[in-house]
Every structure is written in C-alpha cells, then in structure tokens.
Amino acid sequence: MRTNDWYKYMSFYQIWIRSFKDGNGDGIGDLAGVYGKLEYIKSLGVDGIWFSPIYPSPNADFGYDISDYKDIHPDYGTLDDFKKVLNKAHRLGLKVIMDLVINHTSDEHPWFIESRKGKDNPYSDYYIWRDKPNNWESILEGNAWEYDEQRGQYYLHLFAKKQPDLNMDNPKVREEVKSILRFWLDMGVDGFREDVINFISKREGLPDGLPFLPVINGMPHYKDGPHIHEYLGEFRKVCEEYDCFQLGEGPMTTVRSAMNYLTGPTRSLDMMFSFDHMMADCLYTEYVHRPFDLRKYKSALSRWQYALAGKAWNALYIENHDHPRIISRYGSERLRRESGTSLAVSYLFLQGTPFIYQGQEIGMTNIRLKSIDDYVDVSSKTNYHKYNLKDTVERRLKRIHFSSRDSSRTPMQWNSSKYAGFSTHKPWFFVNPNYRRVNVASQEHDADSILNFYRKCLKIRRHSRTLIYGSYKEYFPDDKHIFMYERRLGDICYLVICSFSKFPVRVRIPHEFVGKKAKLVISNYHESSEDGHRIRKAAKAVLSSEVFSNDGMKDAIGKEWFAPYETRVYRFRF
C-alpha cells in the first residue's frame, strides 16, 4: 500500500552504471562497483538512487534499448548482484528506483524477433507496423520508419532504428508492462522513473506531422496521446498495491498537460521531469545552440514552481545522462567551483525533490573529442552526419562538443590515478583529461569543494520544513545576472540569491529584507577567499540598508556586492 509522500523530503542520486565504477576490472562500470560506492552515495546526504537501465541491451542507446526487462546486463552483473545492492542500499536507508522504458524495446527483444516474422503470430501486434510510413522524424536517428525485409512492412521507431515502438493499444502489451512492474516491485524496488512516458499512446491513423519541422514534427500526434491517461491509470493501479512512487519523464511537456498526470482523476505520476529549464541555451534539443539566457532558465523554473504550488510536486534536476554537463553550458569552466556551486543552489532549494547526476557533485565538465568517430552516442552521430551539412567540419564538431550526451557519460572521476580510479583497465570510453584536477578524492577533504558544498546544501534542505514545503516567490525575474527567490513557511523565510555573472555585480535586495537581521546559511565565498571584493562575516550578516534613490527601483533599496557566480542563502525569522 502506498503511504504516499515519503519522496517529498528526499533527494536522489542518478547512476548511469556503465560509467560509474568498475568493480571487476574489465573497464565497464557494474553492480559490484556500485556496491562498493553506496557509502559514498549515502555520504552525499541523498535518500535514494535512480538507476538508468541496467537490463540486457545491445546498447544502441546505452540501455534504453532493452532486450530483456527482467534480467541484468551481463556487463553489470546478475540479478543476485542486484539484490545485494538493493539490500545494502535499503540497510543504508536509500530507496532504489528503476528506469522503466516501455515506449520501445530493442529490436533484439524476443517480442520483436517474433513480431517481425509475420502478421499471424502472437507477437505480431506488439509493435506498430504499416505498409506505408508517414512523414514523422525520429528523435535520435532520422526517419521514424524502417523497412523490415522479413515482415515486408515498416515499423515505427520514435528513437533509434534499433528501438521499435511498442503498440500500447494492444492489451497484451499492457499486461506485459504490468508484469514487469510486479517483477521489480516484488523484488523490493521502491519505484520507477518512466522513460518518455507521455509518448506511449499514438493518435489513431498516425497522421502526417508538419513537413518542415525537423526531429519533432510528429510530436503533436504522439505526445499526450488519446489513451495516455487510461493506460497510465492501469499501471498506476499496480503500483498502488505497493509503497512505491512513479516519476515520469515528459519531453516537451507543458505545465498544463503535466497537471493531468500529476493531479485530479487522471493522476498517474507523483512527479514529472520537464525540459523547459534545460532549453535556456538551446532550442528543443541541444542540436540547436543559442547563448545561455538566465531569464529563460528562471522563467521556466518559476513557471513550474508557481503552477504546481499546493497542487503537485516538482522533480528538480540540472543534469542527467541526456544533457551535456551544466557547468559547460550555464556556468563557466574557468570559474568551475563558483559556477558549479551557484548552479547547485539555484535548483536544490526550489520546491520539489532534487536529483543529482553522477559527477555533477564534483563539477565534471564536457569532453571535447577530436573526431566524430570517437563519439558513441547515436544522437551525436545523427547531429553530425544529418544536420547542417554545409557547415565546415570544425563547426560541426563544435556543435557536437556543445551538444553531445557523451559528455555526461564519461567515466566518473574518483581520484587522480590512472583511469581516474574508475577502473584498473582501460575504460570503455574516454576519461575527461581534467580528471587529475577534478575528482572525488581531491574534493573529499577540501571544505570548499563543490562536493562538500553539495553535501551542505542537501543537509540544509533535508532539515528545513520551509525549504521542503514552503511557498516560492521569485524576485526580479527580468534581471539578466541574478536568480533570486524566497521560500517561506510560517515566520521562516529563506532568501536564495545566485549570481550567474562572470563579473562582480551589485545586487538589489527586496525592500522587506533590507536592514533585517539574517543568518547566512550558506555561501560559496567566505572571509578567507581571495575574491578581494569584500570581507564579511560568514556566520551572521545584516543586509545593507543603504538607500539608492537614483535607480528608479521602487521595491529594492538595499544593494550588496556579489562576486562572480557568488551565491548566498539567508534565513530570516519574521
């Protein structure tokens, strides 16, 4: 039975196992590696782990092409190894959630192998077959239809060619999904992150999409499709028999459509990963780059914060296995520690459950490989070989340096020894050359490290009802350099200020805080720092009450200097 809201106070750590930690010395991350690092994960102050897929998979999309839903990839171990990890995690007080990928399988899944044999076998309607394809494009690999010689028809794949879409309209397929849910829930897992879950019901007749829109032209016909809530309702029923929670990934979801998943009679998810705030430097996908605009980041976050307030619960993240590293995008590699910590504060203290992706907590950054042939992510290959072909090789490669998901999939940097302590063997993929500087061991004992900063933030959040349950309000949404918001509950109010500027800036302080006594609960600069702008007391601060009358700002009269990417969180009692 669902006791319902234990996930609210929690935060989660995401493991992309192939690059997390190699336990048996073959260069590939695995469950033995995870087992040995559970104490580390616990030490961060998180309460749970989300495993990106660890099932058998030909790895056309690194685990998101599943060939057996009820087993473990031999590269990563066995079901028994998984049970050991699960039990130890539980002993440490960590929940474990699995990735549920049911929009598609691998083309090497036995269902597909059967299905492609012909139109009259028990699996023939497990997938979406047509004699004539429509004009949809896939998200990872060009055209969304692939001709299958054996069956003599086309099958739909919204992602890579090796990821045929399941036909969720077939009740037998939905029974299979329920059986997968039960399999893992009976074993004791605590919930699911449900992959591209808003895509699983396609509009009848599969009408053509817009002719000129690349990559997502068919989306209006498969996002939030006609039977989505009915199908998810069926899955929810199974999950409700257990004390588990469900988190949906909702590419391109709007707040409005998300509300149907999160509230009311069609409620089928506890949280949803949205993408809006990940498009502050790109358009729809990282394929189309534009300069980072803080106002886009802020307005996306605020939109979700306001809309869900009192009605639903946010899932907070700024990195995962699908996005390049956030410091390389929204921060500054030169001011890595400063921007990494300011970015951390910008989202960890929002309303919702925070997720931290492996390596984010030490400020890992993008990798820049010499040739497209060095990249392994299918979407990077597509981006390079299919779009903007008139660009020079240099420009195309630059695009990949900016956009590749491979940047978040390089081996975790544990220490400065060979292969970054990830393995004793040459790893399956390139280690970021900055590992000698950027690694867990070197940050472990540095009180000012990004790692220890994450620990402090998570601890502060975990111990504050205001930060977990309080209301949200943003200040100065038009400011190009500062993200400022408050969280308030009863007489306690936190004022969160993050600079996104490479230069010192003067920050306006809202009227009602000016001259009030406040406790500085955390900051990424302190007295001894050499920023040279200001020396101030780390423990207690009284906000400046200087009056500036010449700037025309009615609601802000106090001003404070903020160093590059400085962040401060104040706690007030009113």
Which of the residues are catalytic? 195, 249
**222 binding ligand GLC? (CB under 6 A):** no
Minimum distance from residue 500 beta carbon to Ca ion (Å): 39
CB 544 within 8 A of CB 497: no
- Contact with ligand GLC (CB under 6 A) among 50, 51, 159, 419: 159
DSSP state of 431: P
Minimum distance from residue 322 beta carbon to ligand GLC (Å): 5
Minimum distance from residue 50 beta carbon to ligand GLC (Å): 11
CA 354 to CA 178: how far, in whole Å? Answer: 28
Minimum distance from residue 449 beta carbon to ligand GLC (Å): 29
CB 232 within 8 A of CB 257: no
**64 binding ligand GLC? (CB under 6 A):** yes
CA 279 to CA 249: how far, in whole Å? Answer: 16
CA 382 to CA 386: how far, in whole Å? Answer: 5
CA 212 to CA 219: how far, in whole Å? Answer: 13
The window from 25-33, 111-119, 232-240, 352-360 that contacts Ca ion (CB under 5 A) reads 25-33
Consecutive H or E run containing 493: strand 492-499
Work out what residue 28 binds among Ca ion, ligand GLC, none; the CB cut-off runs from 5 to 8 Å by kind.
Answer: Ca ion
| Helix 171-187 vs helix 228-240: crossing angle, to nearest 10 | 30
Q: Footprint of Ca ion on residues 28-57 (CB under 5 A)? A: 28, 30
Task: Give the nearer residue to ligand GLC in terms of CB position, either 101 or 348.
Answer: 101
**319 binding ligand GLC? (CB under 6 A):** no
| Paired sense of beta strands 191-194 and 95-100, if any | parallel
**293 binding Ca ion? (CB under 5 A):** no
Q: Who's near 552: CB < 8 A, 6+ residues apart?
A: none
CA 487 to CA 390: how far, in whole Å? Answer: 49
**75 binding ligand GLC? (CB under 6 A):** no
Work out what residue 159 binds among ligand GLC, Ca ion, none; the CB cut-off runs from 5 to 8 Å by kind.
Answer: ligand GLC
**141 binding ligand GLC? (CB under 6 A):** no
**24 binding Ca ion? (CB under 5 A):** yes
**165 binding ligand GLC? (CB under 6 A):** no
- Contact with ligand GLC (CB under 6 A) among 47, 137, 195, 224: 195
Task: Give the nearer residue to ligand GLC in terms of CB position, either 193 or 487.
Answer: 193
Q: Using a CB cutoff of 8 Å and minimum separation of 24, what contacts does 429-434 make? A: 429/18, 429/19, 429/376, 430/367, 430/369, 430/374, 432/364, 432/365, 432/367, 434/365
**51 binding ligand GLC? (CB under 6 A):** no
- Contact with ligand GLC (CB under 6 A) among 146, 322, 338, 361: 322
Nearest to 536 by CA among 523, 527, 549, 546: 527
**424 binding Ca ion? (CB under 5 A):** no
**495 binding ligand GLC? (CB under 6 A):** no
**137 binding ligand GLC? (CB under 6 A):** no
Which residue has the closest beta carbon to ligand GLC?
64
CA 128 to CA 199: how far, in whole Å? Answer: 13
Applying CB under 6 A, the residues found at the interface with ligand GLC are: 61, 64, 101, 159, 195-196, 249, 321-322
Applying CB under 5 A, the residues found at the interface with Ca ion are: 22, 24, 26, 28, 30
